[in-house]
């Protein structure tokens, strides 16, 4: 009945793996309730016994693992985990996965219920939230002892999962912002393709020309998109965050909104309601695949998934402006639950997924370019998927130009993202001036990160 | 329908039935509750069985009782406690900090989006509930006639409510009412330029209202049952006295139907305030565009599960529960001025 739970038709058999334990806990809870309600607190609080690794390395271990993604990712991940079980027959997995929407609601609920997975996928949105609340295991000691080998990682990725001096998650892959465009549409109309290094002004002028010639709006308006705003800020010498503060002012936001108001007035972008559709995080609703705009602002590793949703050829370049504002970003992380009874095994699995040649080859670039640079080369050479090849090519090109990685987003980041959407849409629908929307955004951010 | 600990009454059909019986008939203490078990035993058997049968009654009741305690009452009380804390879901209960009335203070003084959600919810309920009841009553009046094939129409009109809070229906709605949806194609046949209804902040909530109104089947069936109970002698007497159709409706049908109207009004108001699924699906769980569909329960859900501010969300749930209780109490206190219970007057 949970509204955020996606259809379960594709669910693997292991999906309902956790029924036995909660039922027992529920019974215990109910007993406690009938005797005396306050005992309930005790029953809930003592759910997670702290425990280190098993003394016997061959004792059977069942490790629970949770990730978001589509069918393709599920298949690849399951294959890689099966390979681990083959090499370590005592370790089996309880696998749970679902679509991105609702994933973090469920992860939070599992954690609250004292039932979090041993190993889970997480991203910038929530890494700081979980780390700040001591939910994630600090992986630093494993990194030092070499049990978690990051020696082949680029420096930026190694740093990226660090929150308050603790390694809260290990980068599962590397990606960067990618401007994806409809190649078929442009070729058919004899229009030039966008290029890396175009200025924002040039991009908008190009989009205006596309609209005029094809009747398809040239570019999605990214004013609600935090990653586009972020790149633009870095080109202005600012940043999204500075320490525990915002790295920008209301004036910056106004200028950003004005830039796109100008673009809308010139018909370089779609109308507000279509922009709103494209502001969804859902890949299938990106305007470049629904045919409602010639470009969309996404992450480079999303190319294969986007390609699956359209017949047209797609291309990908960096966001406009100086590409050194972009950075090698951890697309997502693997984190270990701090109270896990199988910490050592969980860490070993992360190490395996990142550094074992066979496993990395199985996983491909689905979670971004492999973090291990030696294996990245192997995967790049072996990949046959054309969309994966394109995203590898653009990232390989950008690697030379990448700037320094910004700090990991702070607590409250997900609220900042949703407030940016709200403010930008207020301006797009004409319900507020750009300056009003900017002020409103700053106010909302301040209370979100307080 | 999502079941929030505070305020899920009114969504349980069996309890609705009890309420219906209680509201539309004269009070009869022997009808309901554990008392009825005793009433039976008194009539039937020797006294020594009375105690054990009463016990048996409670034993048979226990699955429900334990369920009520464990699944509703305890979580509700827990959420009352949490509403005075900074509980954020991820922190264990043992480390939760007591913050006194801070959550309630924030709600009333420092959270504009909370009041925005209150406004959205009130707008929704004030418009959608009366229109839905009017539609239900109107169709029930039509279907109360002895037309050929009327049974089929009753079924057809009831159908949308069977699909009720379904996610699939909300998805269909989104596709019907977007820029290139079926509704705009229909309008274009008449040369009318449609709007991107669900993606337009000025129209998204109205689209949700239409969806709610369209699902008038449940109150319609109840109205229909109520109409069947109006004695035909009254209409005959009225027409002998020279009353026309409209006067008959005003002076016979409405008063006789008033307990049913009252029942539907109470239930539908509560349901209206709790609207969640359609708003969640339509806005991808964000309450957008620009918060135009940010219903109270959706705001609560986002606060608790997305922003992890569960202590604050619990406080919202309790204020919501109290608000619904107050509104229901107001209905009950005004009820005696316009609700006529025929049983009571006859005696």
pLDDT digits (tens, 9 = 90+) for B149-208: 888 888 888 888 777 667 888 888 888 998 888 999 999 899 888 888 999 999 999 999
At B164 the pLDDT is: 60
Interface touch B288/A421, C-beta < 8 Å: yes
Q: How far is A374 from chain B (nearest CA, A)?
A: 37
pLDDT surpassing 60 at residue B46: no
**B93 to chain A: closest CA residue:** A45
**Mean per-residue pLDDT, A66-95:** 92
Given pLDDT bands bounded at 50, 70 and 90, which one contains residue A412?
confident
Q: How far is B75 from chain A (nearest CA, A)?
A: 10
Task: Average the pLDDT over each of A268-282, B101-115, B141-155 and give the range with the smallest value.
Answer: B141-155
- DSSP sequence for B206-254: HHHHHHHHH--HHHHHHHHHHHHHS-HHHHHHHHHTT--HHHHIIIIIH
At A100 the pLDDT is: 82
Q: Which two tokens stand for residue B31?
A: 């009808």
pLDDT tens digit string along A343-382?
Answer: 999 999 999 999 999 999 999 888 999 999 899 989 988 8
Q: How far apart are CA B77 and CA B66, in angstroms?
A: 15
pLDDT surpassing 80 at residue B20: no
Question: Which of A22, A112, A291 to probe by mutation at the B interface, max B CB count within 10 Å?
Answer: A112
pLDDT surpassing 70 at residue A12: no
Question: Which of B5, B199, B282, B298 to probe by mutation at the A interface, max A CB count within 10 Å?
Answer: B199
Q: How far is A234 from chain B (nearest CA, A)?
A: 27
* Chain B contacts to A (CB-CB under 8 A): 1-3, 66, 69-70, 74, 77-78, 88-94, 110, 167, 178-179, 196, 199-201, 276-277, 280-281, 284-286, 288-291, 305-308, 310
Q: How far is B237 from chain A (nearest CA, A)?
A: 51
Q: Could you tell me which of B288, B275, B272 has the C-alpha nearest to residue B174?
A: B288
Domains for chain A: give ranges and CATH numbers.
13-174+330-396 (3.40.190.10), 177-326+412-449 (3.40.190.10)
**B305 to chain A: closest CA residue:** A105
Question: Which of B308, B312, B313 to probe by mutation at the A interface, max A CB count within 10 Å?
Answer: B308
Tokens 């699924």 correspond to what residue? B277
At A14 the pLDDT is: 40
Q: How far is B334 from chain A (nearest CA, A)?
A: 36
Q: How far apart are CA A372 and CA A361, in angstroms?
A: 11
| Interior angle at CA A178, CA A174 and CA A182, nearest 5 | 140
CB pairs under 8 A between A and B: 99
Residues of A in Cβ contact (< 8 Å) with B276: 3
Interface touch B74/A40, C-beta < 8 Å: yes
Name the residue with higher pLDDT: A117 or A390.
A117
Q: How far is A86 from chain B (nearest CA, A)?
A: 34
CB contact at 8 A, A166 and A286: no
pLDDT surpassing 80 at residue B258: yes
pLDDT surpassing 50 at residue A21: no
Nearest-CB residue to B285 (from A4, A271, A426): A4
Interface touch A135/B90, C-beta < 8 Å: yes
**A39 to chain B: closest CA residue:** B74
Task: Average the pLDDT over each of A218-232, A320-334, A397-411 and give the range with the smallest value.
Answer: A397-411
Q: A81 CB contacts (<8 Å, ≥6 apart)?
A: A65, A93, A95, A349
At B22 the pLDDT is: 47
pLDDT surpassing 70 at residue B144: yes
pLDDT tens digit string along A38-47?
Answer: 333 333 333 3
Question: Which of A276, A423, A426, A449 to probe by mutation at the B interface, max B CB count within 10 Å?
Answer: A276
Q: What percent of chain B has pLDDT over 90?
A: 46
Nearest-CB residue to A418 (from B78, B201, B286): B286
At B33 the pLDDT is: 45
Domain ranges of chain B: 104-346
Residues of A in Cβ contact (< 8 Å) with B109: none
pLDDT tens digit string along A154-172?
Answer: 888 888 888 889 999 999 9
Nearest-CB residue to B91 (from A44, A133, A274): A133
At B19 the pLDDT is: 52
At A293 the pLDDT is: 96
CB contact at 8 A, B120 and B295: yes
CB contact at 8 A, A181 and A171: no
Question: Which of B66, B114, B306 to probe by mutation at the A interface, max A CB count within 10 Å?
Answer: B306
Interface touch A3/B276, C-beta < 8 Å: yes
Given pLDDT bands bounded at 50, 70 and 90, which one contains residue A7?
very low
Q: Could you tell me which of A284, A350, A105 has the C-alpha nearest to residue B307?
A: A105
pLDDT tens digit string along B229-254?
Answer: 899 899 999 999 988 888 999 999 99
Nearest-CB residue to B93 (from A44, A111, A129): A44
At A44 the pLDDT is: 39
Q: How far is B2 from chain A (nearest CA, A)?
A: 6
Q: A433 CB contacts (<8 Å, ≥6 apart)?
A: A427
At B38 the pLDDT is: 46
Nearest-CB residue to B277 (from A3, A48, A429): A3
Q: B66 CB contacts (<8 Å, ≥6 apart)?
A: A30, A34
At B49 the pLDDT is: 57
Nearest-CB residue to A276 (from B77, B199, B291): B199
Interface touch B288/A274, C-beta < 8 Å: no
Interface touch B284/A280, C-beta < 8 Å: yes
Omega before A279 cis (within 30°)? no
Interface touch B291/A276, C-beta < 8 Å: no
Interface touch B94/A45, C-beta < 8 Å: yes
Q: Could you tell me which of A333, A402, A286, A421 has the C-alpha nearest to residue A129?
A: A333
Interface touch A276/B289, C-beta < 8 Å: yes
pLDDT surpassing 80 at residue B5: no
Q: How far is B306 from chain A (nearest CA, A)?
A: 6
- Neighbour-count burial of B100, counting CB atoms closer than 10 A to its CB (0-12 exposed, 13-18 middle, 19+ buried): exposed
* Chain A contacts to B (CB-CB under 8 A): 1-4, 26, 29-30, 33-34, 37, 40-41, 44-45, 48, 101-102, 104-105, 108-109, 111-112, 129-130, 133, 135, 271, 273-274, 276-277, 280-282, 414-415, 418, 421-422, 425-426, 429, 431, 447
Average pLDDT, chain B: 83
pLDDT surpassing 50 at residue A17: no
pLDDT surpassing 70 at residue B84: yes
pLDDT tens digit string along A290-321?
Answer: 999 999 999 988 888 888 889 999 999 999 99
At B110 the pLDDT is: 86
Q: How far is B233 from chain A (nearest CA, A)?
A: 48
Given pLDDT bands bounded at 50, 70 and 90, which one contains residue B138?
very high
Residues of B in Cβ contact (< 8 Å) with A274: 179, 196, 199
**A280 to chain B: closest CA residue:** B284
Task: Average the pLDDT over each of A440-444, B290-294, B303-307, B338-342 and give the range with the smallest value.
Answer: B338-342
Nearest-CB residue to A30 (from B66, B286, B306): B66
Nearest-CB residue to A276 (from B78, B92, B288): B288
Q: What are phi and psi of B55, to 5 degrees?
A: -60, -45
Interface touch B94/A108, C-beta < 8 Å: no
Q: How far is A260 from chain B (nearest CA, A)?
A: 18
Interface touch B199/A426, C-beta < 8 Å: no
Question: Which of A1, A2, A3, A5 to probe by mutation at the B interface, max B CB count within 10 Å?
Answer: A3
**B291 to chain A: closest CA residue:** A422
CATH of domain B104-346: 1.10.3720.10
Predicted-complex ipTM score: 0.80
Given pLDDT bands bounded at 50, 70 and 90, which one contains residue B262?
very high
pLDDT tens digit string along A246-289?
Answer: 999 999 999 999 999 999 999 999 999 999 999 987 888 899 99
Interface touch A105/B286, C-beta < 8 Å: no
pTM for the whole thing? 0.81
pLDDT surpassing 90 at residue B94: no
């Amino acid at each position: 009945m949970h509204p955020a739970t996606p259809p379960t038709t594709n669910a693997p058999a292991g999906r309902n793996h956790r029924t036995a334990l909660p039922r027992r806990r529920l019974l215990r809870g109910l007993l406690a309730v009938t005797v005396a309600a306050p005992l309930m607190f005790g029953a809930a609080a003592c759910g997670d016994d702290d425990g280190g690794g098993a003394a016997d390395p061959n004792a059977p271990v069942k490790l629970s693992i949770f990730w978001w993604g589509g069918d393709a990712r599920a298949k690849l991940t399951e294959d890689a985990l099966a390979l681990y079980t083959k090499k370590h027959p005592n370790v089996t997995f309880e696998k749970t996965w679902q679509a991105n929407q609702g994933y973090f609601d469920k992860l939070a609920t599992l954690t609250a219920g004292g039932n979090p997975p041993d190993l889970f996928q997480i991203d910038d949105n929530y890494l700081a939230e979980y780390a700040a609340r001591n939910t994630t295991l600090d992986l630093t000691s494993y990194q030092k002892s070499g049990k978690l080998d990051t020696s082949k990682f680029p420096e930026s990725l190694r740093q990226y999962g660090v929150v308050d001096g603790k390694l809260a998650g290990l980068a599962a892959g590397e990606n960067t912002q990618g401007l994806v465009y409809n190649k078929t549409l442009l070729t058919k109309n004899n229009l030039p393709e966008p290029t890396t290094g175009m200025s924002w002004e040039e991009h908008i002028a190009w989009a205006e020309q596309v609209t005029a010639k094809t009747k398809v709006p040239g570019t999605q308006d990214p004013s609600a998109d935090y990653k586009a705003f972020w790149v633009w800020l870095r080109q202005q010498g600012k940043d999204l965050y500075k320490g525990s503060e915002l790295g920008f002012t209301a004036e910056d936001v106004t200028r950003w909104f004005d830039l796109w108001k100008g673009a809308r007035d010139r018909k370089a972008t779609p109308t507000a309601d279509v922009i709103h559709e494209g502001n969804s995080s859902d890949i299938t609703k990106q305007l470049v695949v629904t045919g409602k705009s010639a470009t969309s602002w996404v992450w480079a590793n999303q190319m294969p998934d986007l390609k699956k949703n359209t017949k047209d050829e797609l291309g990908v370049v960096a966001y406009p402006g100086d590409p050194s504002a972009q950075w090698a970003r951890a697309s997502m992380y693997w984190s270990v639950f701090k109270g896990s009874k199988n910490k050592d095994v969980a860490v070993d699995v992360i190490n395996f997924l990142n550094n074992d040649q066979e496993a990395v080859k199985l996983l491909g670039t689905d979670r971004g370019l492999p973090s291990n640079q030696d294996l990245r080369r192997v995967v790049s050479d072996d990949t046959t998927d054309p969309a994966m090849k394109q995203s590898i090519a653009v990232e390989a090109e950008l690697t030379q130009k990448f700037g320094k990685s910004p700090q990991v987003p702070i607590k409250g980041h997900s609220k900042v993202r949703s407030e940016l959407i709200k403010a930008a849409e207020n301006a797009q629908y004409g319900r507020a001036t750009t300056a009003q929307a900017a002020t409103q955004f700053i106010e909302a951010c301040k209370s979100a990160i307080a | 329908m999502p079941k929030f600990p505070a305020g899920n009454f009114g969504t349980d059909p069996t309890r609705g039935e009890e309420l219906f019986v209680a509201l539309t008939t004269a009070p009869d203490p022997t009808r309901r509750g554990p008392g009825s078990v005793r009433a039976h035993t008194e009539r039937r058997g020797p006294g020594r069985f009375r105690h054990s049968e009463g016990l048996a009654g409670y034993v048979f009741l226990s699955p429900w009782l334990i369920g009520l305690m464990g699944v509703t009452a305890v979580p509700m009380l827990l959420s009352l406690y949490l509403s005075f804390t900074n509980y954020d879901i991820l922190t264990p209960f043992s480390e939760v900090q007591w913050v006194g009335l801070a959550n309630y203070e924030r709600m009333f003084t420092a959270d504009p989006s909370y009041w925005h959600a209150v406004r959205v919810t009130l707008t929704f309920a004030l418009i959608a509930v009366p229109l839905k009841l009017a539609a239900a009553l109107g169709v029930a009046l039509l279907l109360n006639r002895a037309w050929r094939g009327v049974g089929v129409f009753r079924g057809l009109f009831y159908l949308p409510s069977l699909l009720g809070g379904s996610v699939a229906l909300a998805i269909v709605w989104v596709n019907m009412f977007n820029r290139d949806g079926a509704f705009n194609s229909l309008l274009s046949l008449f040369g009318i330029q449609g709007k991107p209804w669900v993606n337009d902040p000025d129209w998204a909530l109205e689209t949700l209202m239409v969806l709610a109104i369209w699902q008038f089947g449940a109150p319609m069936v109840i109205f229909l049952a109520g109409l069947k109970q109006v004695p035909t002698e009254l209409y005959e007497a009225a027409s002998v006295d020279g009353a026309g159709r409209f006067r008959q409706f005003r002076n016979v049908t409405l008063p006789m139907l008033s307990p049913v109207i009252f029942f539907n009004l109470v239930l539908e108001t509560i349901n209206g305030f709790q609207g969640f699924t359609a708003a969640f699906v339509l806005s991808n769980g964000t309450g957008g565009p620009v918060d135009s569909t940010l219903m109270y329960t959706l705001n609560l859900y986002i606060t608790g599960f997305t922003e992890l501010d569960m202590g604050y969300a619990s406080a919202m749930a309790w204020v919501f529960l109290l608000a619904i209780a107050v509104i229901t109490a107001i209905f009950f206190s005004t009820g005696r001025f316009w609700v006529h219970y025929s049983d009571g007057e006859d005696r």
